[in-house]
């Protein structure tokens, strides 16, 4: 029993450390999203996380690391959403993308702070291309996109879809989705589930059928 106790001892510490890291990231991401990276001070983050300034540095090497910690969280969440939506067995591309769109919109609405951070991060991704970490994020981003492209590819070979470059049109789809979310976040709209479903279906409808009346 004693040994059992000891075995559990180490994980508990680690779990607590991780939990506290997440608390700090929570505080930071809200502030970063509200005011931007530079206009958020460590003092504010510490205050919001209910720690002293110095304590933050027991959990993150510096402000930048915190930022990347947050971005990685976001990527993890987006990966889950993507994987879940694409994995539905027997579903068509249209069904999968509808599920994906619903999940993305719902997530964006629930975490509009994250959404805004993604936009900000987009900028950094464009500029600091030297940085190792940025490159990793870049690759993760592309990998996620390819998961979705793959779903297109299958149905293109079926001739259910037109023979576009799967990756290229995936970006277009993503663009519509992001644009839609940004529009409503800007306008501070709080969408109901029904509205989210309608929106997702609208986007998918336009994407698959176009806006032209035949």
Partner DNA sequence: AATGAATGAGCCTTCATTCAT
Partner DNA sequence: CATGAATGAAGGCTCATTCAT
d(CA 209, CA 16): 50
Residues numbered 147 to 176 that lie near a second copy (CB under 8 A) are 152, 159-162, 164, 168-169, 171-172, 174-176
31 interacts with, out of DNA, a second copy, none, CB within 5 to 8 A per kind: none
d(CA 194, CA 197): 5
62 interacts with, out of DNA, a second copy, none, CB within 5 to 8 A per kind: DNA
36 interacts with, out of DNA, a second copy, none, CB within 5 to 8 A per kind: a second copy
Residue with tokens 């964006």: 108
Nearer to DNA, 52 or 119 (CB): 52
Q: Does 125 bind a second copy (CB under 8 A)?
A: yes
Q: Does 192 bind a second copy (CB under 8 A)?
A: no
Residues shown for the chain: 214
Residues 57, 62, 67, 69: what is their CA dihedral angle, to the nearest 10 degrees? -60
Instruction: Give least dist CB 190 to DNA, A.
Output: 31
d(CA 203, CA 179): 11
Nearest Cα to Cα of residue 116 among 189, 178, 63? 178
d(CA 208, CA 170): 12
Residues that bind DNA (CB under 7 A): 13, 16-17, 20, 38-43, 51-55, 57-59, 62-64
Rg of the Cα trace of the chain?
20
One residue of 4, 5, 127, 190 binding a second copy per CB under 8 A: 127
Residue with tokens 């576009």: 164
Nearer to a second copy, 68 or 208 (CB): 208
209 interacts with, out of a second copy, DNA, none, CB within 5 to 8 A per kind: a second copy
Instruction: Give least dist CB 83 to a second copy, A.
Output: 21
Burial class of residue 183 (count of CB atoms within 10 Å of its CB; 0-12, 13-18, 19+): exposed
Residues found near a second copy in the complex (CB under 8 A): 34-38, 94, 116, 119-120, 122-127, 138, 152, 159-162, 164, 168-169, 171-172, 174-180, 182-183, 185-186, 202-203, 206-214
């Amino acid at each position: 029993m004693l040994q059992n106790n000891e075995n559990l001892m180490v994980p508990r510490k680690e779990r607590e450390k991780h939990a506290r890291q997440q608390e700090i990231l929570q505080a930071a991401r809200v502030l970063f999203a509200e005011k931007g990276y530079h206009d958020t001070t460590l003092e504010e983050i510490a205050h919001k996380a209910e720690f002293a300034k110095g304590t933050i540095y027991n959990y993150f090497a510096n402000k930048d690391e915190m930022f990347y910690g947050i971005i990685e969280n976001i990527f993890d969440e987006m990966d889950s959403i993507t994987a879940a939506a694409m994995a539905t067995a027997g579903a068509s591309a249209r069904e999968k993308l509808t599920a994906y769109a619903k999940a993305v919109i719902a997530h964006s609405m629930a975490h509009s702070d994250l959404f805004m951070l993604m936009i900000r991060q987009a900028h950094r991704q464009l500029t600091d291309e030297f940085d190792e970490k940025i490159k990793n994020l870049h690759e993760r981003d592309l990998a996620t996109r390819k998961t979705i492209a793959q779903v297109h590819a299958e149905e293109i070979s079926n001739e259910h879809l037109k023979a576009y470059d799967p990756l290229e049109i995936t970006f277009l789809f993503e663009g519509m989705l992001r644009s839609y979310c940004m529009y409503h976040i800007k306008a501070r709209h709080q969408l109901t589930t029904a509205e989210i479903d309608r929106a997702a279906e609208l986007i998918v409808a336009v994407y698959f059928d176009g806006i032209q009346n035949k």
